[in-house]
Structure 1
Amino acid sequence: MSCAANLCACLINISRCLSYIFLVFLTLVAIIVGYHIFEIFSTKPGTPIVINTWAFTASTLRSWEILNTNGTAVDAVVAGCSVCEIAQCDGTVGYGGSPDENGETTLDALIIDGATMNMGAVGSMKRIKQASKVARHVMENTKHTLLVGDGATQFAVEMGFKQTDLGTNSSAYMWKDWKTRACQPNFWTNVSPDPGMSCGPYKPSTKKSQSKPRASFANQYNHDTIGVVAIDKEGNIAAGTSTNGAKFKIPGRVGDSPIPGSGAYAMNTIGAAAATGDGDILMRFLPSFLAVQAMKYGYSPGGAAILAMHTIAEYYPEFKGAIVVVNKLGQHGAACYGFDSFPYSIANNEHNRVLVMYAKCDLQKP
């Protein structure tokens, strides 16, 4: 056989080998792509889960009980938030905590139904204890999304809720002590007299400082929020929040908790998230919406959580916050920034009991 014939035979064999390798490669790609398409677009009912911010285990347990008695995801979220409103979790949820500059406690809450994308919220609501239940009425009995202030209170009364003083001896003492400390700390900037040394009333200062204020004095016992995410046996997803906001806030302030996409977000086709921390910073980035959308484009729940926190930390390195994230399959993750660690509570079929898990706040890029 001539050299040319040998060379031709070798080239044919090489071509066959390359074709075989290419076919194997295409098969592997098809399998991987098919799996991800199935994961993204398929539904998997029967994977109930409850996850909420912080170690508010009584709330987790109540939500889990609701799911195990064929309750809906919305039922579970409202029930979990309501437990914390009654128990005054950490003094940052429900009545008797976080007085504003006038000494009054006001409440924020949000409920989102990921099956219908309907939602309801209340902000800076006065004299009504059951904030999350009122938020549900906004969702189910109005065409609005958010009611605030005295208008939210009036709506609650029309829905059958009774007005009551949200203050307690504890909140009154807290406010009086703050006044004796020259109203420190507070949320004012670029005003006179110097808000770092005295109480108001304030006027705009002629001396302007930086346009981007620094992150405020957030910690677990100030800007805390309960955020609850639930998936029921039908695969429907809901999320919600409840809080009494920031201590010594300027009257009328509404935090991130009742803002859809910031405090919480849920979509049946993707998953849900709930955030907690410095609300005035959080709401500028809509971290819950960002995390849910990140999962749509391939991020894991843990990766989506890191992305949401990292996006904020790039602009506000002194920021403190955390987020829990769940995809529609019940896979979950959490991330935090500015704390040493972040406890969150979870219950699902894998454990069939409430567990407290911890996310380390050593934030890395996703």
Structure 2
Amino acid sequence: MFNRRKFIKLSAAGASLATLSKYVVAKPLPVAGKLPIVISTWDFGVAANKEAWKTLEKGGRALDAVEAGVRIPEADMKNHTVGRAGYPDRDGRVTLDACIMDEFGNCGSVAAMENIAHPISVARLVMEKTPHVMLVGDGATQFAVEQGMKREKLLTPESYKEWQKWLRKAEYSPVMNIENQQKRPGGKYNHDTIGMLAIDSKGNISGACTTSGMAFKMHGRVGDSPIIGAGLYVDNEVGGATSTGVGEEVIRNVGSFLVVELMRQGLSPEDACREAVNRIIKKKPEIAKKIQVGFLAINKKGEYGAYALQEGFSYAVCDAKQQDLLIPGKSAYKDEKKDK
């Protein structure tokens, strides 16, 4: 059952988490959850985890849990970084990306798909109903309709209004940690992703990742979220990882696959995420200072951890003991300041 706990004020959470008082906020310590368990990126992961838990607590499959979980932010009309209410590209077209992966290594994804509100469910259909891994653009939409999904206009009046404002100057300037900044005046014009990883009562792992991508991106741009190995990767012998932030840098490092392989070599989830972040810094140090990228991972034991380039990244955890735990992730540039 979903139980609320008292909010614990922690200075380590920072100002970016000040609006999240309805959740338990915990220090980012190395921890292991009791199986089954589900973790996901950002504060909207709390509601997504709650939905996923309905499947897990009944002994259901992790794959079913992650699909059901990420459909919650996909349907949230206040969420402009994921799903049907996402901000459009520069041409005013809302395009969605998603991928899903199960314990057997099966995977499916869609990219630059229009007019379908739940890309994660289309990604699962690609995995289960086709010989392919990815469908894109009009082909993805056509397939979704053929499978009985509703074609609908996704550009909401609010998103249209913001697009019209953007067109006045047509400048693209990403804002870090938009999912927190949306809660404050002036926080807009960016993107982010929900990535979710779950281990069910049988010890099997699945993951899902879905986004509307960068607001006002070039039409046809695809980030890391629908790319297996970049935005999401699961190996049932080792664990799973997902990413959030500027996808181009994740793709260049095949980030989620890297995190899983580092866990295979014996690193903890947090240390594996840290090393993946450090690879980005090493390759593109000047770019890394200006953007946000975060990784979230879980290993076969149910141990989880995260690490990001910048402060402000958070993730949500749900197991039999805690259903609304929000954890501020550690970050590279915060650690750098400490070292100095």
Matching residue of 2:150: 162
Matching residue of 1:291: 259
Alpha-carbon shift at residue 89 of structure 1 (Å): 5.9
Matching residue of 1:356: 326
SS in 2 for 1:185: coil
Matching residue of 2:171: 184
Alpha-carbon shift at residue 48 of structure 1 (Å): 1.1
Contact 1:223 1:276 in 2 (8 A): no
How many Å separate the matches in 2 of 1:335 and 1:218?
15
Give 1:112-191 correspondences, 5 Å limit.
112-113=101-102, 115-181=103-169, 183-185=170-172
**Higher relative contact order, structure no. (Cα contacts within 8 Å, ≥ 6 residues apart):** 2
Distance 1:256 1:62, change over 3 A: same
Matching residue of 2:19: none
Query: TM-score, normalising length from structure 1?
Result: 0.76
Identity %: 41
Per-residue CA deviations over 1:19-69 (Å, capped at 9, x if unaligned) read xxxxxxxxxxxxxxxxxxxxxxxxxxx821100000111101111121012
Does structure 1 residue 78 correspond to structure 2 residue 67?
Answer: yes
Matching residue of 2:232: 264
Contact 1:220 1:277 in 2 (8 A): no
How many Å separate the matches in 2 of 1:156 and 1:328?
33
AA aligned to 2:143 is F
AA aligned to 2:218 is I
Does structure 1 residue 345 correspond to structure 2 residue 316?
Answer: yes
Give 1:1-366 correspondences, 5 Å limit.
47-56=35-44, 57-88=46-77, 90-113=79-102, 115-181=103-169, 183-185=170-172, 218-221=176-179, 222-316=190-284, 317-318=288-289, 319-338=291-310, 340-349=311-320, 351-362=321-332
Structure whose alpha-carbon radius of gyration is higher? 1
Per-residue CA deviations over 1:312-348 (Å, capped at 9, x if unaligned) read 122233231111110001001110112x231110012
Q: What is the alpha-carbon root mean square deviation over aligned residues?
A: 1.6
Contact 1:223 1:279 in 2 (8 A): no
Gaps of 5+ in 1: 1-45, 187-215
Distance 1:88 1:276, change over 3 A: farther
Distance 1:47 1:96, change over 3 A: closer
Distance 1:119 1:274, change over 3 A: same
Matching residue of 2:15: none
Query: TM-score, normalising length from structure 2?
Result: 0.81
Distance 1:218 1:123, change over 3 A: farther
Per-residue CA deviations over 1:217-261 (Å, capped at 9, x if unaligned) read 554242310000000011110011010000111111111100001
AA aligned to 1:108 is D
Gaps of 5+ in 2: 1-33, 180-189
Matching residue of 1:211: none
Corresponding residue pairs, total:
287
How many Å separate the matches in 1 of 2:160 and 2:307?
35
Contact 1:47 1:235 in 2 (8 A): yes
SS in 1 for 2:85: coil
How many Å separate the matches in 2 of 1:334 and 1:117?
23
Contact 1:227 1:264 in 2 (8 A): yes
How many Å separate the matches in 2 of 1:130 and 1:48?
25
Distance 1:144 1:89, change over 3 A: farther
Alpha-carbon shift at residue 71 of structure 1 (Å): 1.6
Alpha-carbon shift at residue 360 of structure 1 (Å): 2.8
How many Å separate the matches in 2 of 1:217 and 1:352?
31
Contact 1:109 1:122 in 2 (8 A): yes
